[in-house]
Amino acid sequence: MVSIQNIQFTYPNSKTLVFPNFICKAGETLLISGNSGTGKTTLLHILAGIQKADSGAVVIDKHNIQALSGDQMDAFRGKHIGLILQNSHFIEAFNVLENVVFASWLGQGKELREKAQHLLETLGLGDQLYKKMTALSIGQQQRVSIARALINDPAILLADEPTSSLDDENTQIVSDLLIEMATKFQTALIIVTHDSRLKEKFPNQIVLK
Amino acid sequence: MIIKLAWKNLWLKPLNTILSFILLASSVAIITVLILLQNQFDKKFYDSIENIDLVLGAQGSPLQVLLSSVYQMDAPTGNIDYEEAKKWMANPFVKEAIPLAFGDNFHGYKILGTTPQYIEKYGGTLLEGTMFKNPLEVVIGSTIASNFKLAVGDTFLGSHGAVEHGEVHENHPYRIVGILKPTDRILDNLVVSNIESVWAVHDHASDDAPVDHATEVHDHQDGEHHNHDHKDEVAEVHNPEDGKEITAVLISFRNKMGLITWPRIIAQNTKMQAVLPAVEINRLISMFGVGIESLKYLAYGIMLLSGISIFVILYNRLKERKYEFALIRIHGGTSRQLLQLVVIESLLLCLIGFIFGTIIGRFCLGFISLAAQEEYKMSFNPLEVVWKNETTLFILTLCIGLLSAVIPALKAYSMNISKTLANA
């Protein structure tokens, strides 16, 4: 479960961003949308512990991550938070399978090779395991991102504009997969996007202003 | 997994990596060759003059006397009168005096006339056969035996002088009576006989008749009257050593006063010169040393260049790898792991450079050794490890790697992932 309370953040020489409180339970989904400059990405970074809010609390699995030190946050993020980015960045030197296994090593200190393989097969990438990341299509790369985000059984799956660079067909596939995985792995799924194509798929939504 | 990533990252841009690798491996190879050469030169040179306090030789370059008589590397400056030398050899100050006479060579390997004490002095022991007793009997070093597949009982002809293709003494074949065990010293490259052999061959240089070892040997040994087929010695009563010459005498003193007084006395009162090996070798090594040190500085310069090259590669790649670093962080990697990654990449490159450098260096020394063996009958062991110096070189190489990685690693360590991801 994830909840945020009274989160505020101020960039230097900018107005203070005030975010609404919300709760997203295990297996539930939440879509956060809003125009540019409303703080969508900032909120996602605060939820991921990449940035610290000026005030308020972000509670993930009963831990207020705002109170964690830098090292504690790195360890917590690896174990409890799965992150999917708009542009699928990967480790170029590793193949598809190694990219997912590496995430398990970073998060848990273990190379979960079989689990990574199983996840990739579930996501329809069973025949792409040993390919270079650059050999995959953008849609396939986004699916590898999902596998990588799920490898450590995170309590929360955060996706930043996961479909904005995809065509309609791939947007459909990726969004369905995200929802399916969140349900299957009982993970709270929070998507930050301005992609209106996703609105009808997510019953719980917050619009930032 | 970090090491695996570091390794794979190195080969993502192979051209950059190979350039740094070549620079580093070259510098390590040069330094390795110099370390081994210097160490083995020192060992060979100082080892060979152990317990030799003074060398008596003909006047001329003292270094040449030393090189020709102790290291068998140069032509002698000339000969000295044996009778006169014997007076000095019998001096009470002298503990041991070993006469040396050169005249011929066998395929470039010197044939040395001396006493069995010479072989003992250099730690030679017989692998098979016996020590030479009679003229034209020889004991050969292990290198010569293996190079020419020679065995006890074989005979061979010597060529006059130090030149391989000199006049061949066809009527005076040498007979091998013993083969020495390998010593890794000059003995391995020598044919050793008694001094009478050298005299016999050269007294008979114009003699057409073949020499019968069995009959000729006896009288030269004991100095008795003899009356066989010597054109210029027929029916002559004389000491066989009269008028004979040798090339040098290796002397060790009982009383070290000789070291101080002999060089001056001998220079003033004889046609000989007294060479102090320690002084000459120190002079020689210091001359070599300048060259070796210069080459070392050149190699350190190349090593520094390779360090700069590694730094440039790591630094330039920081920009293109910022998302990789951000990814590592968002999946639970720590700043320290990023720092480790950059440092390990640099250290891996240096480690491979060092390993290949030491191997290449040893191959080079192997080739140098072959050339030196051919030219100077001196070999070097490429497989020797000079632990102290090579460990220092290893640490120095790793330090280059660490220094090259410091700035890129600190930049990776302190990167702002939020800013990086926001700009993605």
The per-residue pLDDT for range B110-140, each reduced to its tens digit, is 899 999 999 998 889 999 999 999 888 999 9
Q: Which amino acid is at B224?
A: E
The C-alpha atoms of residue A160 and residue A32 are separated, in whole angstroms, by: 10
In a domain, B228, yes or no: yes
Are residues B333 and A48, on separate chains, in Cβ contact within 8 Å? no
Dihedral sign for Cα B321, B326, B331, B335, please: positive
In the block, tokens 């083969």 appear at: B179
In a domain, B90, yes or no: yes
pLDDT at B359: 96
SS3 B165: coil
Nearest chain A residue to B2, by CA: A102
In sequence order, what are the beta bridge partners of B248?
B57, B100
pLDDT tens across A184-201, in order? 888 999 999 888 888 888
Q: Which segments within A26-121 are labelled E, that is strand?
A: 29-34, 55-60, 63-64, 81-84
**pLDDT at B209 (0 to 100):** 41
CA-nearest residue to A41 within chain B is B422
Residue B64 sits in the same domain as residue B37: no
Contact B111, B103 (CB under 8 A): yes
Answer whether residue B250 is part of any domain.
Answer: yes
* pLDDT given for residue B197 in this prediction: 85
Closest chain A residue to the Cα of B13, Cα to Cα: A93
A interface with B, Cβ–Cβ < 8 A, is 41, 45, 48, 50-51, 70-71, 74-75, 77-79, 83, 85-87, 89-94, 101-103, 105-107, 111, 148, 152, 160
Please state, rounded to an integer, the average pLDDT across all residues of chain B. 83
Say what the ipTM of the complex is: 0.83
Closest residue of B to A87, CA-based? B424
Comparing CB atoms, the residue among A51, A79, A85 nearest residue B418 is A51
Q: Answer whether residue B282 is part of any domain.
A: no
Considering only alpha carbons, which residue of chain B is nearest residue A150?
B331
Q: What is the domain extent for residue B298?
A: 2-44+288-422
* Inter-chain CB proximity A77 and B326 less than 8 Å: no
Q: Which value, to the nearest 10 degrees, does the dihedral of the CA atoms of residues B26, B30, B33, B34 take?
A: -160
The number of angstroms, rounded, from the C-alpha of A192 to the middle of its chain's C-alpha atoms is 9
Taking contacts as CB-CB distances below 8 angstroms, the residues of chain B near A106 are 328, 331-333, 337
* Boundary (domain end) residue, out of B215, B245, B275: B275
User: Predicted confidence band at B360 (pLDDT cuts at 50, 70, 90)?
Assistant: very high
**Cα–Cα distance for residue pair B275/B53, rounded to 1 Å:** 9
Q: By C-alpha distance, which of B173, B179, B223, B178 is closest to B201?
A: B173
**Which has more pLDDT, B352 or A194?**
B352
B32 and B131 assigned to the same domain: no
**Does B419 touch chain A if contact means CB atoms closer than 8 Å?**
no
Question: Comparing C-alpha atoms, which of B2, B83, B41 is closest to residue B339?
Answer: B2
Alpha carbon B237 to chain centroid, angstroms:
47
DSSP B216-255: HHHHHHHT----SS-TTSTT----TTTT-EESEEEEEESS
List all residues 6 or more positions away from A96 whose beta carbon is below 8 Å from its beta carbon. A120, A125, A128, A129, A130, A131, A132, A133, A136, A144
Question: Do B236 and B306 belong together in one domain?
Answer: no
B254 close to B102: Cβ distance less than 8 angstroms: no
Q: Do B331 and A93 touch (CB under 8 A)?
A: no
Q: What is the pLDDT of residue B215?
A: 35
pLDDT score recorded for residue B240: 61
- Does B1 touch chain A if contact means CB atoms closer than 8 Å? yes
Question: Do B153 and B262 share a domain, yes or no?
Answer: yes
Residue B228: predicted pLDDT: 39
Convert the pLDDT of each residue in B373-395 to its tens digit: 777 777 888 999 999 989 999 99
Here the tokens at position B301 are 């310069």
Q: Report the alpha-carbon distance of residue B149 to residue B153 in Å, rounded.
A: 12
Q: Is B243 left (phi over 0), alpha (psi -120 to 50) or beta?
A: left
Say if CB B301 and CB B294 are below 8 A apart: no
The answer to whether B420 faces chain A, any CB pair under 8 Å, is no
**Model confidence at B163: pLDDT above 80:** no
Both B196 and B332 in one domain: the answer is no
The secondary element (H helix, E strand) that includes residue B138 is: strand B137-140
> Which residues in B lie closer than 8 A to residue A89 (C-beta atoms)?
323-324, 326-327, 424
Which chain B residues have a beta carbon less than 8 Å from that of A51?
A: 418
Q: Are residues B342 and B363 in the same domain?
A: yes
Task: Answer yes or no: are the C-beta atoms of A185 and A153 closer than 8 Å.
Answer: yes
What is the Cβ-side half-sphere exposure of residue A92, based on CA atoms within 13 angstroms? 12
Q: Which amino acid is at B305?
A: L
Q: Confirm or reject contact between B424 and chain A (CB < 8 A).
A: yes
**In this predicted model, what pLDDT tens digit does every residue of B147-160 receive, in sequence order?**
999 999 998 888 77
Please tell me which residue, B344 or B169, carries the higher pLDDT value: B344
Does the beta-carbon distance from A77 to B328 stay under 8 Å? no
DSSP designation for B182:
P
B423 vs A contacts (CB less than 8 Å): none
Distances B305 to B20, B25, B27, B110 between C-alpha atoms, Å: 9, 12, 10, 46
Same domain, B271 and B354: no
Report how far apart, in Å, the C-alpha atoms of B98 and of each of B88, B120, B279 are: 11, 11, 20
Q: Based on the domain organization, do B264 and B312 belong to the same domain?
A: no
Count: domains in chain B: 2
3-state secondary structure of B169: coil
Instruction: Please report the DSSP string for B316-344 in residue order.
Output: HHHHHTHHHHHHHHHTT--HHHHHHHHHH
Query: What is the residue-averaged pLDDT of chain A?
Result: 88
- Please give the Cα distance from B240 to B130 (Å, whole number): 25
Residues 315-334 of B with CB under 8 A from A: 323-324, 326-334
By three-state DSSP, how is residue B297 classified? helix
Give domain status of residue B280, yes or no.
no
pLDDT tens readout for residues B228-277: 344 344 344 456 666 788 999 999 998 888 888 899 999 898 889 999 99
Pairwise CB contact (< 8 Å): B337 & A89: no
* In a domain? residue B281: no
Nearest to A91 among B327, B329, B421 (CB): B327
C-alpha span between B124 and B159 (Å, rounded): 25
Nearest CA in chain B to A152: B331
Q: Which of A12, A41, A93 is nearest to B420 (CA)?
A: A41
Cα distance between residue B233 and residue B23, in whole Å: 69
Percent of chain B whose predicted confidence (pLDDT) is above 70: 88
Domain boundary among B245, B275, B305: B275
Residue among A89, A101, A160 minimizing CB distance to B323: A89
Sheet strands side by side (includes A81-84): A81-84, A156-160, A188-192, A29-34, A205-208
φ, ψ (nearest 5 deg) of residue A73: -65, -40
pLDDT at A78: 86
Q: Do A77 and B331 touch (CB under 8 A)?
A: yes
Residues in chain A with pLDDT values less than 50: none
Q: Are residues B380 and B353 in the same domain?
A: yes
Is residue B283 included in any domain, yes or no? no
Terminal C-alpha separation, chain A:
24
Q: How many CA atoms lie within 13 A of B161 on its CB side?
A: 7
- Compare CB distances from B332 to A78, A94, A111 and report the shortest one's residue: A78
In the numeric block, which tokens belong to residue B68?
A: 């020709």
**CB atoms A85 and B421 under 8 Å:** yes
Whether residues B13 and B88 fall in one domain: no
Residues in A touching B335 (Cβ below 8 Å): 70, 74
Task: Count Cβ atoms within 10 A of the Cβ of residue A113 and give its class: 0-12 exposed, 13-18 middle, 19 or more buried.
Answer: middle
d(CA A203, CA B10): 47
Nearest CA in chain B to A83: B330
Interface test with A, best of B9, B338, B415, B421 (most A CBs within 10 A): B421
Question: Is the Cβ–Cβ distance between B135 and B197 less than 8 Å?
Answer: yes
Residue B396 backbone phi and psi in degrees, to 5: -60, -45
B269 and B298 inside one domain: no
Task: Verify whether the Cβ–Cβ distance B329 to A74 is below 8 Å.
Answer: yes
Return the pLDDT at B200.
81
Please indicate, yes or no, whether residues B132 and B200 belong to a single structural domain of this protein: yes
Test mutation, B7, B330, B416, B417, chain A, max A CBs within 10 A: B330
How close B305 comes to chain A (CA, Å)? Answer: 27
Does some domain include residue B344? yes
Q: Is B363 on the interface with A (CB under 8 A)?
A: no
3-class secondary structure, B257: helix
Yes or no, beta carbons of B330 and A87 under 8 Å apart: no
Task: Indicate the residue among B240, B275, B310 that finishes a domain.
Answer: B275
Whole-number pLDDT of residue B161: 66
